[in-house]
Amino acid sequence: MNKATDRSKKMRAMFGGVDPAELSKSSTPAPSMTTATKQRVSSGAIKSMRNTFSNVEKENEKLRQMMQEGSVAHEFDTAELDPSFVADRMIVANDQDFETLKASISTSGQQVPILVRPHPEADGRYQIAFGHRRWRACKDLGIPVRGFIKDLSDEALLIAQGQENHERKNLSFIETALFASRLAKSFPQTVISKAIGKDATTVSKLLKLINALPEDFIREIGPAPKIGRPRWEELAGHFVNGQLPDPFKARVNAVTITADFELSGSDERFSSILSACKSAETTTTAATGSVATAAKSWLGNRQILMKDGPNALSFQIDARKDPELAAFLKKRLPDLMDEFRSDYLKEDA
């Protein structure tokens, strides 16, 4: 039995009514691959397999722990369940990943149970902590959904909900930002950080971005799984006090009312709206014959002049008056660039 089959067996043992003691049995070592076979396996495929096995092991460990605590997977009528009181995911039309999940459950059954708690306000009902997509898939298929029941406080439910999504990495950047924004209405920053697996600085950036963009506007675009923080911030830069200026709004509206936009995926919707904003910006600049004047402000004891314009941010230092400051900043810039790249890669991963 190879490792993949062994892991599948463990999953079936956990969820298919087999004695949990089966999980502790050792497996026969996988036969070694020949040199020719190894050469046919790409490094990308190996990495993908490792990631898949890693995710399976995380699920195994989480669910083993629940079994050790005496938890038993129950079958629920999907109509008995309600979603979490804080939404974390956008439901969009033509969601191919969801259709693939539904087909998998239809063919092979629900492999991983969901997690629910007794509904705090409705006797005989349950509220989902995580597994909303599996619940929706079973609901569409007209079959019961399997899940564990666990008493959870509001805070514990949200942390479980957020951490499960963080481990699976299946929430897009903007869905994570919206989830953080909704949590911020009722919960402290410490809960938000635990729920989304981000530090306080990143949480602040997410909330700042959401404050700049209307939620209805974000929903019109959708989850945009391939679009990260820098491009969302670029789009937000065209908004003023949460609204698009009239020339930008007219150009964006002309895009969003088309049939192509309606049929497009969310990544394509984002790109078309950002392109419309850039086009409006170019047209407005050409019509006025000049670029908007940059806002000027001083830093320190009038040592650094900062110019913040619509298309550029610059800093100016008089090296004759402050040679030490100029030399210090010049020395630190490479380190600041490294820090920026590290944050960029971490948040956009």
Q: Rg of the Cα trace of the chain?
A: 26
Predicted confidence (pLDDT) per residue in 283-341, tens digit: 765 554 444 455 566 676 667 877 766 567 778 887 788 888 888 888 888 888 877 77
> Is the pTM value of this prediction over 0.85?
no
The separation between CA 86 and the C-alpha centre of its own chain, rounded to angstroms, equals 15
List 74's β-bridge partners, or say none: 147
Least confident of 40-54, 90-104, 162-176, 261-275: 40-54
Angstrom CA distances, 147 to 6, 105, 112, 214, stand at: 23, 14, 8, 35
Angstrom CA distances, 126 to 67, 150, 158, 283, 322, stand at: 19, 10, 15, 54, 66
Query: Is-contact 282 108, C-beta < 8 A?
Result: no
Q: What is the DSSP letter of 243?
A: B
Element (H, E) at 147: strand 145-149
Predicted confidence (pLDDT) per residue in 119-171, tens digit: 999 898 999 999 999 999 999 999 999 999 999 999 999 888 887 766 655 78
Which backbone phi and psi does 128 adopt, to 5 degrees?
A: -80, 130
Q: What is the pLDDT of residue 335?
A: 83
Q: What is the pLDDT of residue 166?
A: 64
Q: Supply the mean pLDDT for the chain.
A: 77
Cα–Cα distance, 174 to 343 (Å, whole number): 17
Cα–Cα distance, 332 to 261 (Å, whole number): 45
Q: What is the pLDDT of residue 54?
A: 53
Q: What is the pLDDT of residue 70?
A: 45
Q: Is the pLDDT of residue 20 over 50?
A: no
Least confident of 217-226, 243-252, 289-298: 289-298
Q: In this predicted model, which residue has the larger pLDDT, 159 or 56?
A: 159
Q: What is the pLDDT of residue 63?
A: 55
